[in-house]
Amino acid sequence: MAGNQRLIEAGLADQARVELLDYREIEDEDGFDALVSVGMFENVGAALLGTYFRKAVELLRPGGVFLNHGIANKATIKRRKGPTFTQRYVFPDGELTPINISLHAAEEAGLEVRDVESLREHYALTLRHWVRRLEAAHEEALHYISEPTYRVWRLFMSASAYGFSIGNLNVYQSLLVKQGQVGASNLPLTRTDWYR
C-alpha cells in the first residue's frame, strides 16, 4: 500500500500504519491513545451513530481522545422527502445529522465531549477555492471524467459553499475523550494548552 510505503520513507513506520477497512472491522488488543476520523462521518448515518461511537470507546485506552471531524446540517432545517441532488448524484449513502444528535450519541456510548469547534466559514472558503481550481482545469479534468460529472461536482461544490456560508451546513471538529479512573481525562485544562 502506498501509504505504508510513504511512512517507511518518512521513518515513521514504527509509529503509524495505514489500513484500508471498514471501521467496524478494526481490532487492536492494546488499544489506541488517539483516533481521528476525517471525511467519513457523513457516511455513517443516524442509525449507526451508536455503533460508530461504541467502536471508538472499544478501541480507545482510558484517557484516549477521539477527534471526530464531520459535516452536519442545521437542526432546524426540515428534511426533504425523497433523495436530494447530493444523495442522488454525489454521495448516495451519505446522511448529514445535526451536531446535537451526534454529540448525544457520543455521550450515550461513553465518551465525554471536551471541545467542539465550528469550521463553517473555513469550509465555505475551501469549497470556493476548489470550484475555481476545477474551473481553471476544466479541459484537463475532462481527460478523467465526463462533462456531466464535471458539472455535477461543480454544482455540488458551489451549492455546498453557499450552504456553509448561510449556515445551513457546518463542519465540526468534536474532541471526545474516554475517561480514565474516577473521571480523569488526562487532558490539559485549556485549548491553548493543547497546542503547546
Q: Residue 58 belongs to a domain with what CATH number?
A: 3.40.50.150
Say what percent of the chain tops pLDDT 90.
Answer: 66
For range 103-107, the mean pLDDT:
97
> Domain range spanning residue 47?
2-120+169-194
Say what percent of the chain tops pLDDT 70.
Answer: 98
Question: Would residue 153 count as lying in a domain?
Answer: no
CA distance 186 to 193: 12
Q: Are 174 and 68 in contact (CB under 8 A)?
A: yes
Q: Are 84 and 91 in contact (CB under 8 A)?
A: no
For range 74-83, the mean pLDDT:
83
Question: Would residue 6 count as lying in a domain?
Answer: yes
CA distance 112 to 171: 20
pLDDT of residue 113: 95
Question: Would residue 101 count as lying in a domain?
Answer: yes
Residue 1 banded pLDDT, cuts 50, 70, 90: low
Residue 79 banded pLDDT, cuts 50, 70, 90: confident
